[in-house]
Chains A and B, each alone.
Chain A
Amino acid sequence: MDKTAPTVPEEQRFILTSASPSRGQKRLALGVMLAFFGAVLILAGELSNIQLGRIDAFVPAYGTAVFVNDLITAVLLFNQFAIMRSRALLAIASGYLFTALIVIPWMLTFPGVFTPGGLLGAGLQSTDWLYNLWHAGFPTFVIAYALLKDADPTKGLWRGSAGAAILSSVAVTAAVVCVVTFLVTAGQTHLPRTMLDSVHFSTLSHYVAGCLILWTAVALTLLWIHQRSVLDLWLMVVVCAYAIEIYMPSLSGLARFSAGWYAGRVLGFVSSILVLSVLLYEITTLYAQLLRAVMAQRHEREARLMTGDAVAAAIAHEVRQPVSAMITNADTAVRWLDRSMPNLDKARAALKRIAVDGHRAGALIGSIRAMFKTNARHRTSLDINELIQEVIVMVRSDLQRHRISVQTDPNLQARQVIGDRIQLQQVLLNLIANAIDSMASEDGPRVLSVKSEVVDSGIMIAVADSGKGIASQDVDRIFNPLFTTKPDGMGMGLSICRSIIEAHEGRLWFVGNTPRGAAFQFVLPIAAA
């Protein structure tokens, strides 16, 4: 992966965690937030005190769902970190990993889920304190994220290996969860009593919830101050949901399995799925955008690449227009003069038009020549083997249709030449298209071989086929313009190829292939290292 951090605005558009939210996204986030508060208002009354009874499957189902959601979110965010190398992203990814991991001991120690008193040697207070630390931990990571994201870019970006950074974050987060779990289980006797029994909360839990809500408010405020991206927007929604989730059981007569308690868990689940859905949706949308951009780029490139015959047909059409006008004007001039009373003015006008059309045809030919003249500005150092691969990809469907197998160099080491990428692609495309045509009508194995090797005068590229080859009487003429052996060909391809190669100070020639077929070879000067 590219090690430099992208800072170009054009690229930022494709990076989810730095894309700014659209008006629609802001509205949606606001809508979700209002729906949360709506739920609170509905449940704030007597409704939340209704004791719904214990549903045994609820805690494991809820815990597993939150674990999976938060783990996937963490993976996606770690990936974003690998691209962006922002420490802030590493912090929030670790936050999601933390919530995913701490759910495990919370579930295991929950009284009555696996054993009546909970696994891991948990006591009455263990599960609730895991819950409290979980809900204190996540806002802490969010605070770290908010503070790091606007840090000085030189400090905010991770310079080392992304893999090592991710591995150490995962290790540290896992260690923290293990230590927390150990403390609340082994040290349970020292924990403040927030539970009266396995169902009812103590009054102290009120104050704990108050502190947690204050802590989430700090996180929310910092996010608000530093908000910029789509991720920030949805993190604010999630933090709000956390606050409401913490507040819910306090409303509800302080008991587990009350309507308020269930509602709090459901809200927790919704908030865990929120950032995940947004990330997935945004990634899919961005993928579609990228795909469209890549396709458009490819179409543009292919539109500029034409086989020699297509170039010739286009040229023929352009030249035919002024030539037709010239012929018609000449006929007309003769007719004006041939009259019994010659109309000299009309004849003169027609002759003048011939001169104008002649200049137009001349200018056209000049512009065609300019098109094939190598423009020094377009010349760059390029890897010829990479170019060969690109052209083979372009003709892949033709190769498959005619069941032609392709041989290229097994060890594709980079071979740099100086040249005009488009023109050299055009040469390769023409030679390969000729090879395909020549094999398409032949029986027997069809093999196209495109190889490069270093020779004294530079780098030699050979395009060989097992087609019908070139008859000995034609060999001297194949590079002549207008010579063709194809029924619908114009005979421009090879002569254009040779012009291009010669303009690159190289040479293009033909050799017979053994046991059958044709081989075209060209040499390009090697790029100075």
Chain B
Amino acid sequence: MSRERLIAVIDDDESFRVALVDSLSSLGYGARGFAAAEEFIAGDGTQPYDCVITDIHMPGMSGFDLMRRLLAHHSSVPVIMITAHEEPGLEARAAAIGAVCVLRKPFEADALTHCLERALKA
């Protein structure tokens, strides 16, 4: 590995966000948490993230809104979406706008690493 891969974690649920950031660092990634999509956008744009993991349902900007904004800015950063909702059809909607995969909470560490490998290979 030439350099540490950097991943942004966006989730309004603090305990899960902290857990996921620590989980990623235990997997050998650099990770930073954001409580909202707006916070991520406002944050240092110079930081080149290798992957974005975002919750879908958040107050304010949703995961889909963020994805559309990234696309509008010609960003090629791969996006993984997570959700605690049971709403059917989210996978199809996420795939349609180019998300790498959707993880439904609670998910196994294996599912996360599998998604990350796909995302970072691209």
Which residues of A come within 8 Å of B, CB atoms? 313, 316-317, 320-329, 331-332, 335-336, 343, 346, 349-350, 353, 356-357, 360
Which residues of B come within 8 Å of A, CB atoms? 13, 15-16, 18-20, 22-23, 26-27, 84-86, 105-109
Q: Are A346 and B19 in contact (CB under 8 A)?
A: no
- Whole-angstrom distance between the alpha carbons of A326 and B23 in the complex? 11
Given contacts A317-B85, A324-B84, A324-B107, whether A329 and B13 have CB atoms under 8 Å apart is no
User: What are 14 contact pairs spanning A and B, CB under 8 A?
Assistant: A321-B84, A321-B105, A323-B105, A324-B105, A324-B107, A328-B19, A328-B20, A328-B23, A328-B106, A331-B108, A332-B22, A346-B26, A353-B19, A356-B15
List the B residue with the shortest CB-CB distance to A323.
B106
Q: Which of B26, B84, B106, B107 is in CB contact (< 8 Å) with A317? A: B84
Q: Are A324 and B106 in contact (CB under 8 A)?
A: yes
Given contacts A320-B105, A321-B105, A324-B84, whether A353 and B23 have CB atoms under 8 Å apart is no
List the B residue with the shortest CB-CB distance to A313.
B86
Residues of B within 8 A of A353 (CB): 15, 18-19, 22
Q: Which of B13, B26, B108 is in CB contact (< 8 Å) with A332? A: B26
- Whole-angstrom distance between the alpha carbons of A332 and B13 in the complex? 18
Given contacts A313-B86, A325-B13, A360-B15, whether A350 and B106 have CB atoms under 8 Å apart is no
List the B residue with the shortest CB-CB distance to A490.
B86
Q: Are A335 and B16 in contact (CB under 8 A)?
A: no
- Whole-angstrom distance between the alpha carbons of A321 and B17 in the complex? 10
Residues of A within 8 A of B27 (CB): 335
With A327-B108, A328-B23 given, name 13 new contacts (CB 8 A): A317-B85, A317-B86, A321-B15, A321-B105, A324-B19, A325-B18, A327-B107, A328-B16, A328-B109, A332-B23, A335-B23, A335-B27, A349-B22
Q: Are A324 and B16 in contact (CB under 8 A)?
A: yes
Rounded to whole Å, the gap between the CB of A292 and the closest CB of chain B is 27
Q: Are A331 and B23 in contact (CB under 8 A)?
A: yes
- Whole-angstrom distance between the alpha carbons of A313 and B87 in the complex? 10
Residues of A within 8 A of B18 (CB): 325, 353
Residues of A within 8 A of B22 (CB): 329, 332, 346, 349-350, 353
Q: Are B109 and A321 in contact (CB under 8 A)?
A: no
- Whole-angstrom distance between the alpha carbons of A321 and B16 in the complex? 7
Q: How many inter-chain contacts with C-beta < 8 Å in the A-B complex?
A: 69
Residues of A within 8 A of B109 (CB): 328, 331-332, 335
- Whole-angstrom distance between the alpha carbons of A332 and B109 in the complex? 8
Rounded to whole Å, the gap between the CB of A340 and the closest CB of chain B is 13
Residues of A within 8 A of B84 (CB): 317, 320-321, 324
Residues of B within 8 A of A328 (CB): 16, 19-20, 23, 106-107, 109
- Whole-angstrom distance between the alpha carbons of A332 and B108 in the complex? 11
Q: Which of A317, A325, A336 is in CB contact (< 8 Å) with B19? A: A325
- Whole-angstrom distance between the alpha carbons of A324 and B22 in the complex? 14
Output the residue of B19, B20, B84, B105 with the most chain A CB within 10 A: B19
Residues of A within 8 A of B108 (CB): 327, 331
- Whole-angstrom distance between the alpha carbons of A323 and B104 in the complex? 12
- Whole-angstrom distance between the alpha carbons of A360 and B15 in the complex? 10
Residues of B within 8 A of A320 (CB): 84, 105-106
- Whole-angstrom distance between the alpha carbons of A317 and B16 in the complex? 13
- Whole-angstrom distance between the alpha carbons of A220 and B101 in the complex? 79
Residues of A within 8 A of B107 (CB): 324, 327-328
Rounded to whole Å, the gap between the CB of A324 and the closest CB of chain B is 4
List the B residue with the shortest CB-CB distance to A360.
B15
Given contacts A328-B106, A331-B109, whether A336 and B16 have CB atoms under 8 Å apart is no
Q: Are A329 and B19 in contact (CB under 8 A)?
A: yes
- Whole-angstrom distance between the alpha carbons of A227 and B81 in the complex? 66
- Whole-angstrom distance between the alpha carbons of A313 and B86 in the complex? 8
Q: Are A325 and B26 in contact (CB under 8 A)?
A: no
List the B residue with the shortest CB-CB distance to A318.
B84
Output the residue of B13, B16, B27 with the most chain A CB within 10 A: B16
List the A residue with the shortest CB-CB distance to B106.
A324
Rounded to whole Å, the gap between the CB of B109 and the closest CB of chain A is 4
Rounded to whole Å, the gap between the CB of B54 and the closest CB of chain A is 15
- Whole-angstrom distance between the alpha carbons of A350 and B20 in the complex? 11
Residues of B within 8 A of A332 (CB): 19, 22-23, 26, 109
- Whole-angstrom distance between the alpha carbons of A320 and B103 in the complex? 13
